[in-house]
Structure 1
Amino acid sequence: MSVMDAVRRVLRPYYKAAFPASWAVRSYSQEGEDILIGPLLEHIQAGFYVDVGCHHPYRFSNTYRLYRRGWSGLCIDPLPGVTEAFARARPRDVVVAAGISQEPGELEYVMFNEPALNTFDPALAEAQSARPAYHVIQRKKVATLPLRDVLARHGVGQIDFMTVDVEGLDLQVLASNDWQRWRPRLVLAESLSARLDTIFDDPLYRFMVVQGYAGVQKIGRNILFLLDEA
Structure 2
Amino acid sequence: MIKIHKLLKSAGTWVYLKFLILIGFRKLFNLKTKFVFSQTGEDMILYMLLRDIHDDDLFYIDVGCNDPIHDSNTFLFYLNGGSGICIDGNKSLIDKHKKIRTRDISICSLVSDEVEEVTFYISKENRVSTASKEVMINNSNRWEFGDKLNLKTRTLNEILDSNLPKGQAIHLLSIDVEGYDFKVLKSIDLEKYQPKVIVIEMHSFSLDPEFLKSDEVILYLQSFGYSLKYYATFNAYFVRIS
TM over 0.5: yes
Segments of 5+ residues of structure 1 without an aligned counterpart are 1-15
1:200 CA displacement: 4.0
- Worse-matched range after superposition: 91-100 or 204-213: 204-213
Say which of 199, 202, 205 aligns to 1:191. Answer: 202
* TM-score normalised by length of structure 1: 0.87
- The answer on 1:182 being equivalent to 2:193 is yes
- The answer on 1:25 being equivalent to 2:30 is no
Can you list the C-alpha shifts for 1:155-196, whole angstroms capped at 9, x where unaligned?
Answer: 343101110000011111000101111010000001121432
1:211 CA displacement: 1.6
For the 8 Å contact 1:194–1:220, the answer to whether it is kept is no
For the 8 Å contact 2:66–2:127, the answer to whether it is kept is yes
1:199 CA displacement: 4.1
For the 8 Å contact 2:38–2:72, the answer to whether it is kept is yes
For 1:210, the equivalent position in structure 2 comes to 223
Can you list the C-alpha shifts for 1:90-141, whole angstroms capped at 9, x where unaligned?
Answer: 110000100001111211000112111000111111100123xx12111110
For the 8 Å contact 1:168–1:192, the answer to whether it is kept is no
Question: In percent, how many aligned pairs have the same letter?
Answer: 28
Segments of 5+ residues of structure 2 without an aligned counterpart are 1-25
Letter in 1 for 2:125: E
1:19 CA displacement: 1.4
Say which of 71, 76, 87 aligns to 1:60. Answer: 71
Tell me the number of residue pairs that the alignment of Structure 1 and Structure 2 aligns. 212
Give the secondary-structure state (helix, strand or coil) at the position aligned to 2:49: helix
- Worse-matched range after superposition: 74-83 or 193-202: 193-202
- The answer on 1:221 being equivalent to 2:234 is yes
For 2:22, the equivalent position in structure 1 comes to none
CA distance in 2, matches of 1:155, 1:191: 26
Q: How does 1:108-119 map to 2 (within 5 A)?
A: 108-119=119-130
Can you list the C-alpha shifts for 1:54-78, whole angstroms capped at 9, x where unaligned?
Answer: 0011111110111111100000001
For 2:92, the equivalent position in structure 1 comes to 81
CA distance in 2, matches of 1:89, 1:155: 20
Greater Cα radius of gyration, structure 1 or 2: 1
CA distance in 1, matches of 2:224, 2:36: 29
Letter in 2 for 1:170: D
Letter in 1 for 2:161: A
Letter in 1 for 2:202: S
